[in-house]
């Protein structure tokens, strides 16, 4: 670095001397006229002075968009005993919370400009509203009322501190078209990007979810029933640019329309596992070379690699390498979408080497098989991880860059494995192989979406199982504010992630050896639409039945042989009171039953026996083309009859006002 700096200073010193030594015919220099903006030395294209003598080209376009979102939650916890959250902290009996503590701002501005046909840039600004009370260090210290900026003079007094900042950063985009192809570059900021399932992408699933509680990024429909009608007709709702993509900060180069139907991309920068407050040279690098045929199919080579420095002198590192081939082909009503390759994780304490990665989906159209069918086979070695791909890590305990506890700013502990997870159909984890089958059946106004999946671990790695609670999932996650702690709750077996809480099950240590675990799941979603009093009525049902067990089974195991049995049923009813008002209702029921090879309570000497309920009602009220008011009220109840401390019940009221502009 010192040599580069010295060379740079030498250039700055020598170049002016060389220019000064050149002979200039002074007789050819006209008199200086400062009013002549185009004045320059003869034979040169440079203007005198420090400022340009010609007017620069103006910005061709400028756009500002965004949203304002008011979000309030009022929670009342019932029962005589307080629900223990962590280390002596309990859920308050009553709480009124203004704002969304899951890192989502109240105000977001997206600003973009185009300086030429080929170049554009953009950035965003977010703001959190000022609050009274103690909110921790997540968004900076509180500002006293007397020190806040004045509305008509915002630069005076204290600035907004952590309440105002840039979310995705400043993005610069450039494009250039040539006879050889079309090239583009994206730099800086945070870009949402997809390359392939095993290299850089996120899980999209089969659109089996509930609509009762809106996502913060949900758009506003012209008619309040459009959201539910689209879900009924298309099986999906509108999503933002993050859907199916991963966040990338750095440089992205792309070449399209290259000779012989080729395209290419290159990525160099940082992902979520490379960031943080450390100054180590952590980075990710990857790319893709893709060839497309004339029928829409393609074959591509994809790679993604991550390196994280573990010490201050750069002698130890950890990371992963992934190399795959992706293929997509359609013929005679059948579609093949496959990806296979190799990957490895490396660290000072991990030397297991490379492992295989396989995912192949074969689907048919309704005309060929009577009903559309998709058959999915996957196999992922326990040696493969990639935190930027759509599969989870359940086998590798990753080296931690810092010793900051999970949930705190700068912590890398969130990348620790989820253990043997009970997951939804289509989701994948490493150290597992399995088969999924999905189809859709229509009977008049009734649409039935079915999924079936079985899987088994490749190696016996640990005696842990994790699962989440779909009923009251968001209400449960809001019991913990600001951070995402691990191993909390009355028995220290719950971990908080983004908009969810999962629970860890320990198998009995009396087992002589660690055993491989098997999983089986059935998912069913029914959608029905009719009209009552000339208004739309929607009925949605979602059922999930999953089990984890020691022996392989083609169907879920509904007996005591299963370690964990989970049955979830959710019913939604939506009725259109008018073009501007939608009445929403929710009913949820959940049962989790464990056998005696799992955690046993010291007092009751029994394993988990959990029951959860959720009942909700509310209104969607349209306030115009770009504004909506959402009201929700939910009664929730949860009890584990074997573990006396693991129970809570209460009610929650949500108010959301959202305006797009």
Q: Give tens-digit pLDDT for 197-218.
A: 999 998 887 888 899 988 877 7
Closest of 498, 475, 422 to residue 612, by C-alpha: 475
pLDDT for 8 beyond 50: no
**In angstroms, rounded to a whole number, what is the distance separating the alpha carbons of residues 256 and 180?**
9
pLDDT at 276: 54
pLDDT for 594 beyond 50: yes
Q: Please state the separation of Cα 660 from the chain's center in Å.
A: 22
Q: Please state the separation of Cα 313 from the chain's center in Å.
A: 33
pLDDT class of 367 with cuts at 50, 70, 90: confident
Q: How deeply is 356 buried, as exposed, middle or buried, from its count of CB atoms within 10 A (0-12, 13-18, 19+)?
A: middle
pTM for this one? 0.81
Q: Tokens representing 656?
A: 């959301």
Q: Give tens-digit pLDDT for 578-593.
A: 999 999 999 999 999 9
Q: Give tens-digit pLDDT for 394-408.
A: 888 776 655 555 545
pLDDT at 545: 96
CB of 428 within 8 A of CB of 378? yes
Annotate 291-304 with DSSP letters as a single string.
Answer: EE-TTS-EEEEEEE
CB of 194 within 8 A of CB of 602? no
What percentage of residues in the chain have a pLDDT greater than 90?
48
Q: Per-residue pLDDT averaged across 542-550, rounded?
A: 96
pLDDT for 135 beyond 90: no
State the Cα angle at 202 between 168 and 396, rounded to 5°: 105
Q: Per-residue pLDDT averaged across 4-10, rounded?
A: 41
Q: 57-71, 376-390, 463-477 — which is least confidently predicted?
A: 57-71
Beta strand pairing call for 428-429 and 391-392: parallel
pLDDT at 498: 82
pLDDT at 32: 42
Q: 101-105, 194-198, 453-457 — which is least confidently predicted?
A: 101-105
Q: Per-residue pLDDT averaged across 84-102, rounded?
A: 85
Q: How deeply is 409 buried, as exposed, middle or buried, from its count of CB atoms within 10 A (0-12, 13-18, 19+)?
A: exposed
Q: Give tens-digit pLDDT for 549-588.
A: 999 999 999 999 999 999 999 999 999 999 999 999 999 9
pLDDT at 3: 46
- Segments of 11-152 assigned E as strands: 61-77, 84-86, 89-90, 94-98, 107-114, 119-127
pLDDT at 57: 60
pLDDT at 21: 40
Q: Per-residue pLDDT averaged across 145-168, rounded?
A: 54
Return the biggest CA–CA distance within the chain: 106
pLDDT class of 94 with cuts at 50, 70, 90: very high
**In angstroms, rounded to a whole number, what is the distance separating the alpha carbons of residues 33 and 53?**
12
Q: How deeply is 152 buried, as exposed, middle or buried, from its count of CB atoms within 10 A (0-12, 13-18, 19+)?
A: exposed
Q: 156-160, 163-167, 201-205, 516-520 — which is least confidently predicted?
A: 156-160
Q: Give tens-digit pLDDT for 448-461.
A: 999 999 999 999 98
Task: Output phi, psi for 627, to 5 deg.
Answer: -140, 145
Cα–Cα distances in angstroms (integers) from residue 425 to residues 450, 521, 523, 544, in the given order? 10, 7, 8, 10
pLDDT at 56: 56
CB of 522 within 8 A of CB of 556? yes
Give the number of C-alpha atoms closer than 13 A to the C-alpha of residue 159, restricted to the C-beta side: 7
**In angstroms, rounded to a whole number, what is the distance separating the alpha carbons of residues 34 and 48?**
10
Q: Per-residue pLDDT averaged across 625-641, rounded?
A: 95
Partners of residue 636 on adjacent β-strands: 614, 650
Give the CA dihedral 314, 192, 483, 83, nearest 10 degrees: -140
pLDDT at 263: 96
**In angstroms, rounded to a whole number, what is the distance separating the alpha carbons of residues 470 and 465?**
16
Q: 47-51, 96-100, 365-369 — which is least confidently predicted?
A: 47-51
pLDDT at 14: 38
**In angstroms, rounded to a whole number, what is the distance separating the alpha carbons of residues 46 and 191?**
38
Task: Output phi, psi for 26, to 5 deg.
Answer: -70, -20
Q: For the chain, which domains are there?
A: 170-660 (2.40.170)
pLDDT class of 122 with cuts at 50, 70, 90: confident
652 CB neighbour count, 10 Å cutoff: 21
pLDDT at 533: 94
**In angstroms, rounded to a whole number, what is the distance separating the alpha carbons of residues 387 and 385?**
7
pLDDT class of 349 with cuts at 50, 70, 90: confident
Provide the 3-class DSSP secondary structure of residue 8.
Answer: helix
pLDDT class of 375 with cuts at 50, 70, 90: very high
Annotate 294-330 with DSSP letters as a single string.
Answer: TTS-EEEEEEEEEEEE-STTS--EEEEEEEEEEEEEE
CB of 390 within 8 A of CB of 197? yes
Q: 194-203, 289-298, 308-317, 493-502 — which is least confidently predicted?
A: 308-317
**In angstroms, rounded to a whole number, what is the distance separating the alpha carbons of residues 227 and 109?**
24
Annotate 155-207 with DSSP letters as a single string.
Answer: TSSS--GGGEE-SS-EEEEEEEE-SS-EEEEEEEEEEEE--BTTTB----TT-
pLDDT at 39: 43
pLDDT at 535: 95
């Amino acid at each position: 670095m010192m040599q580069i700096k010295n060379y740079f200073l030498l250039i700055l010193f020598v170049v002016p001397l060389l220019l000064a030594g050149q002979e200039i015919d002074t007789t050819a220099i006209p008199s200086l006229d400062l009013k002549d903006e185009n004045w320059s030395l003869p034979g040169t294209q440079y203007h005198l002075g420090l400022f340009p003598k010609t007017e620069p080209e103006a910005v061709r376009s400028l756009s500002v968009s965004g949203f304002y979102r008011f979000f309030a939650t009022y929670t009342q916890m019932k029962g005589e005993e307080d629900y223990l959250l962590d280390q002596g902290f309990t859920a308050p009996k009553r709480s009124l919370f203004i704002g969304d503590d899951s890192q989502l701002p109240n105000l977001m501005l997206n600003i973009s400009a185009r300086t030429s046909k080929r170049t554009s840039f953009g950035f965003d600004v977010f703001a959190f509203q000022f609050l009274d009370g103690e909110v921790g260090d997540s968004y900076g210290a509180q500002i006293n009322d007397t020190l806040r900026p004045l509305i008509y003079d915002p630069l005076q007094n204290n600035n907004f501190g952590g309440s105002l900042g840039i979310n995705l950063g400043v993005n610069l985009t450039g494009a250039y078209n040539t006879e050889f192809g079309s090239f583009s570059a994206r730099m800086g900021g945070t870009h949402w990007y997809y390359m392939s399932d095993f290299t850089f992408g996120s899980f999209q699933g089969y659109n089996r979810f509930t609509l009762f509680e809106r996502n913060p990024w949900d758009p506003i429909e012209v008619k309040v029933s459009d959201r539910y009608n689209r879900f009924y007709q298309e099986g999906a709702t509108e999503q933002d640019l993050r859907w199916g993509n991963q966040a990338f900060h750095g440089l992205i180069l792309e070449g399209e329309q290259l000779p012989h139907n080729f395209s290419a991309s290159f990525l160099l920068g940082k992902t979520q596992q490379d960031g943080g407050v450390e100054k180590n040279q952590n980075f990710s690098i990857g790319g893709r070379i893709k060839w497309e045929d004339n029928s829409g199919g393609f074959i591509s080579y994809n790679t993604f690699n991550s390196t994280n420095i573990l010490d201050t002198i750069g002698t130890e590192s950890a990371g992963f390498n992934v190399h795959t081939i992706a293929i997509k082909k359609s013929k005679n009503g059948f579609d093949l979408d496959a990806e296979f390759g190799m990957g490895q994780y490396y660290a000072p304490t991990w030397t297991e080497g490379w492992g295989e990665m396989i995912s192949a989906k074969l689907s048919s159209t309704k005309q060929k098989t009577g009903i559309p069918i998709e058959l999915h086979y996957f196999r992922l070695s326990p040696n493969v991880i990639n935190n930027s791909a759509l599969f989870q890590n359940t086998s590798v305990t990753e080296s931690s860059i810092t010793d900051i506890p999970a949930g705190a700013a700068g912590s890398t502990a969130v990348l620790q494995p989820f253990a043997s997870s009970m997951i939804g159909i289509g989701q994948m984890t490493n150290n597992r192989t399995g088969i999924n089958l999905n189809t859709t059946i229509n009977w008049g106004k009734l649409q039935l979406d079915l999924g079936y999946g079985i899987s088994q671990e490749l190696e016996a790695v640990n005696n842990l199982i994790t699962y989440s609670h779909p009923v009251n999932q968001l209400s449960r996650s809001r019991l913990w504010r600001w951070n995402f702690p691990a191993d909390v709750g009355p028995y220290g077996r719950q971990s908080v992630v983004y908009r969810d809480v999962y629970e860890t099950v320990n198998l009995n240590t009396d087992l002589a050896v660690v055993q491989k675990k098997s999983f089986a799941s059935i998912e069913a979603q029914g959608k029905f639409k009719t009209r009552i009093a000339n208004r739309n009525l929607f009925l949605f049902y979602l059922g999930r039945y999953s089990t984890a067990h020691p022996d392989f089974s083609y169907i879920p195991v509904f007996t005591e042989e299963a370690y964990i049995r989970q049955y979830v049923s959710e019913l939604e009813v939506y009725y259109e009171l008018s073009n501007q008002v939608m009445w929403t209702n929710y009913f949820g029921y959940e049962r989790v039953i464990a056998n005696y090879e799992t955690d046993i309570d010291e007092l009751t000497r029994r394993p988990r026996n959990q029951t959860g309920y959720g009942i909700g009602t509310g209104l969607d009220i349209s306030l115009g083309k770009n504004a909506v008011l959402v009201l929700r009220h939910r009664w929730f109840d949860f009890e584990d009859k074997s573990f006396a401390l693991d129970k809570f019940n209460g009610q929650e009221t949500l108010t959301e006002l959202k305006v797009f502009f």
